[in-house]
Structure 1
């Protein structure tokens, strides 16, 4: 198990190092395609950009879904002073990004570094603190620019992608700190499962496919799945916070979120599996959450649906989890597909 956890940690670092705000996910998808092929699988890349791979088994098809798109921003306009006005991609919270380093990606492949700041960030200058709302935020490039013409000369345009620095760290005590653990941590867990199936010769008791989606943060990542899908589980992040039982060291099993209740029998089966294996888990209700599998249901698929994930604290912020939460999530998924 230690080797599996080490592999998952390595994959997390590699995935978070690839900027992939919603719509700008091609390089992350290419990385998944290459990695899965190296394992001996035959992944497929959809027109939309999702990556699908069947890892074994027959009958009663199950899809395990995670997403590789992240929060981020896009250039909305170029200011007269040479700074960039952003617009949000996904549920990005600007107050959590004030002072964060970032990169700007142009359509011709150029990359520029910069920093996210509000329009008056200096405590020694401002009479009053500026509210950290989108209209008060701007990107300062690490370039000598003073006007729109200077920005034009760099090749930066409206619609270019702004990606925040993930700052991924795994401590000796097992804590995982990074932006975009939602949901690159669970994507790494599913890669760990795929590797274990090959390396350990694990027998799957049903057809199991992994789906890595690229538009989850904007609501339609899982809107298309294989036609034979009978059951689908979003392996995303488990929420940690007030009125919730999950911690960063547990696997969370979601009973209900903003989209309503998850399939009662499937949630019961996951709970029974977690109990049978002595896993540290919680059943929780997330008040402000939506998952890929809900997009699948809204698209008209007749499936049983569920949602699980390692506990993640400070979601849509600089997030934190723990390798124990990774282990509990991995063991739950593995047990569910092998027994």
Structure 2
């Protein structure tokens, strides 16, 4: 299997350039749908805004699903302060230290966009000294300073900003000459780029698939209910394509596909994991097996909702997850190889 890395990279950069915190995914869904329209593939939308791409296989009563999610971490306006700054409330689980000093955009209900910076309430050591250094990074101690001449709550409200508006963190996506991708939101846009490339490859090469095969692009994974509903009726296998988590004490890698044996929801299906590993061995796909103690996926969400499925979790290794992340194109390509190869496996 030969894949054009430029195709994957273009998908990924376009995805990373489109803000999509959980609950604010219309724009990125429109992008994904526009790419699917170019490929002339069959898809449908769920009430929650998930995208289900479907390929007919030889066995129509046994259905296989690969999932990825386009929603990301972000925040919302909780309060407009008396000085015109914004208190924020997190969307998704991240360390507040990871957004200290980050640029952002505020998206209003009437489609106005404003830029700003996330700072602590004591942002300057020249003013607060050790108090600035030692201030605990909590949501209550952080605020968004808007790039507008505002001096009061009324000034900010006059811009059209209100409680509940979304705050999107700048992705700061960059690709190095040696194939490293550094960005926020590689979780899970790296996997969505993989799935889009797999869809393109299957469609353009008219691959014969043994089962009805679906690609489920969810929109509420970061808050835990992405794949709890909207799956095909006869789904038997559900493979979440999400990030692997390399780091101290972990076996995952930024240069291989990572296969999760167990996360916070418990072990994934033993036989399905074995089948995925056998495909890796047969196709010379570089892989790592790992366990993630503080992790949940769309596969575990589907299991928790009561779907009677065999579930697995695979994905590219993403370093510094839920912060400013990094992966390598090798890991993305190895994951793509496994998705395409396994889609053709009985």
TM-score (norm 2): 0.96
Gap regions ≥5 residues in structure 2: none
Measure how far apart 1:109 and its partner are: 0.3
Measure how far apart 1:307 and its partner are: 0.2
* Distance in 1 between residues matched to 2:120 and 2:336, nearest whole Å: 40
How many correspondences in the alignment? 339
Deviates more, 1:115-124 or 1:80-89: 115-124
User: Any conservation in 1 of the 2:243–2:315 contact (CA below 8 Å)?
Assistant: yes
* Distance in 1 between residues matched to 2:95 and 2:41, nearest whole Å: 37
- Equivalent in 284, 292, 297 of residue 298 of structure 2: 292
Correspondence 1:308-319 to 2 at 5 A? 308-319=314-325
Match of 1:19 in 2: 19
**Which deviations, in whole Å up to 9, do the C-alpha atoms of 1:5-57 show, x marking residues without a partner?**
21111011111111110000111111111211110112111111100010342
Deviates more, 1:61-70 or 1:193-202: 193-202
* Distance in 2 between residues matched to 1:217 and 1:109, nearest whole Å: 24
Match of 1:202 in 2: 207
Gap regions ≥5 residues in structure 1: none
Match of 1:62 in 2: 64
Correspondence 1:213-252 to 2 at 5 A? 213-224=218-229, 225-252=231-258
Q: Does 1:302 align with 2:308?
A: yes
SS in 1 for 2:90: strand
Match of 2:336 in 1: 330
Q: Does 1:267 align with 2:269?
A: no
User: Any conservation in 1 of the 2:52–2:215 contact (CA below 8 Å)?
Assistant: yes
SS in 1 for 2:97: helix
- Equivalent in 113, 132, 135 of residue 137 of structure 2: 132
Match of 2:43 in 1: 43
Measure how far apart 1:2 and its partner are: 6.3
**Which deviations, in whole Å up to 9, do the C-alpha atoms of 1:249-284 show, x marking residues without a partner?**
111000000000000000011111111111211110
Deviates more, 1:143-152 or 1:121-130: 121-130
Match of 2:174 in 1: 169
**Which deviations, in whole Å up to 9, do the C-alpha atoms of 1:208-243 show, x marking residues without a partner?**
100000000000000011111111000000111122
CA RMSD of aligned residues (A): 1.1
Deviates more, 1:123-132 or 1:323-332: 123-132
Q: Does 1:159 align with 2:161?
A: no
Match of 2:118 in 1: 116
Match of 2:73 in 1: 71
1:162–1:181: structure 2 CA closer, same or farther, 3 Å change rule? same
**Which deviations, in whole Å up to 9, do the C-alpha atoms of 1:149-204 show, x marking residues without a partner?**
10111000000000000011111100011100000000000000011112222222
User: Any conservation in 2 of the 1:104–1:161 contact (CA below 8 Å)?
Assistant: yes
Match of 1:144 in 2: 149
TM-score (norm 1): 0.98
Measure how far apart 1:94 and its partner are: 1.4
User: Any conservation in 2 of the 1:204–1:337 contact (CA below 8 Å)?
Assistant: yes
- Equivalent in 102, 105, 112 of residue 100 of structure 1: 102
SS in 1 for 2:118: strand
SS in 1 for 2:235: coil
Match of 2:53 in 1: 53
* Distance in 2 between residues matched to 1:110 and 1:64, nearest whole Å: 35
